[in-house]
């Protein structure tokens, strides 16, 4: 009762209200618990919160996304984590991460074929139009940059690109215990799946940038990312 009264008073005075850290943490965990398509939600109680609601400048958002990668990866001892940035509010929109995931591989059109991940050809073209320079030579597993729009006073500048440091991305070269030739395919995949383009809504407050991760299932990588005909088609 007292908390609801305080929230109503804050909304009347400012047009919005600020979650306590406890409210933010519980709301994020319940949002994961209620995501019916995610098998990882069984572990919703263990979701670790990185509260970055004071961050809205695009370069700071990108830096905190890289910090998320480092803190959640932990050299392979992966921890389910969410980083929550500034919300939408009366002063303007919050920041936004345009990438579907913080780590994804580029796709390049080359002579009627695609080098890399076909799903991200369009996103790769957009990143290049914003000034991103792919590595030379281009490869099948080039990590895409982060494309970030700032919030509040930074929103008018539009999306900007930021490189993801190589040391922040843990990749696993793929081999087979019984078939040595499998390693010769040169396949690998990143260890951390961080969904970064979903909006988080808690108690009427909307957070457009709230990247979060659980863990990969082996079938997501093998039967979908690497085997689907519209992906690596292996």
- Concerning whether 38 is annotated as a catalytic residue, the answer is yes
Contact in structure between 205 and 16 (CB atoms under 8 Å): yes
CA 226 to each of CA 39, 182, 184, 190: distance values in angstroms, whole numbers, following the listed order: 20, 13, 15, 12
Q: Of the listed 71, 100, 171, 220, which one is catalytic?
A: 220
Q: Could you check whether the bond before residue 138 is cis, i.e. omega within 30 degrees of 0?
A: no
Residues 6+ apart with CB under 8 A from 89: 15, 16
- Concerning whether 33 is annotated as a catalytic residue, the answer is no
Q: Of the listed 29, 41, 52, 119, which one is catalytic?
A: 41
- Concerning whether 220 is annotated as a catalytic residue, the answer is yes
Q: Of the listed 50, 98, 188, 215, which one is catalytic?
A: 215
Q: Of the listed 21, 38, 153, 199, which one is catalytic?
A: 38
Contact in structure between 102 and 197 (CB atoms under 8 Å): no
Q: What does the H/E/C string look like for 26-70?
A: HHHHHHHHCCCCCHHHHHHHHCEEEEECCCCCHHHHHHHHHHHHH
Kindly state the helix (H) or strand (E) to which residue 160 belongs, with its residue range: strand 159-162
Q: What residues act catalytically?
A: 38, 41, 215, 220
């Amino acid at each position: 009762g007292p908390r609801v009264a305080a929230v109503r008073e804050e909304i009347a005075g400012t047009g919005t209200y600020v979650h306590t850290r406890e409210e933010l943490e519980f709301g994020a965990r319940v949002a994961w618990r209620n995501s019916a398509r995610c098998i990882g939600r069984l572990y919703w109680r263990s979701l670790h919160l990185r509260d970055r609601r004071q961050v809205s400048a695009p370069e700071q958002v990108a830096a905190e996304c890289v910090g998320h990668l480092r803190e959640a990866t932990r050299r392979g001892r992966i921890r389910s984590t969410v980083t929550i940035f500034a919300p939408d509010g009366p002063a303007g929109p919050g920041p936004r991460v345009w990438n579907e995931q913080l780590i994804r591989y580029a796709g390049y059109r080359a002579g009627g074929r695609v080098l890399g991940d076909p799903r991200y050809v369009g996103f790769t073209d957009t990143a290049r139009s914003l000034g991103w320079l792919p590595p030379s030579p281009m490869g099948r597993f080039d990590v895409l940059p982060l494309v970030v729009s700032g919030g509040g006073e930074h929103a008018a500048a539009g999306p900007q690109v930021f490189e993801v440091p190589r040391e922040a991305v843990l990749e696993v070269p793929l081999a087979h215990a019984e078939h040595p030739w499998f390693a010769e395919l040169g396949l690998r995949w990143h260890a951390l799946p961080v969904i970064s383009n979903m909006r988080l809504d808690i108690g009427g407050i909307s957070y457009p940038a709230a990247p979060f991760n659980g863990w990969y299932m082996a079938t997501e990588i093998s039967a979908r990312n690497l085997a689907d005909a519209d992906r690596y088609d292996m």
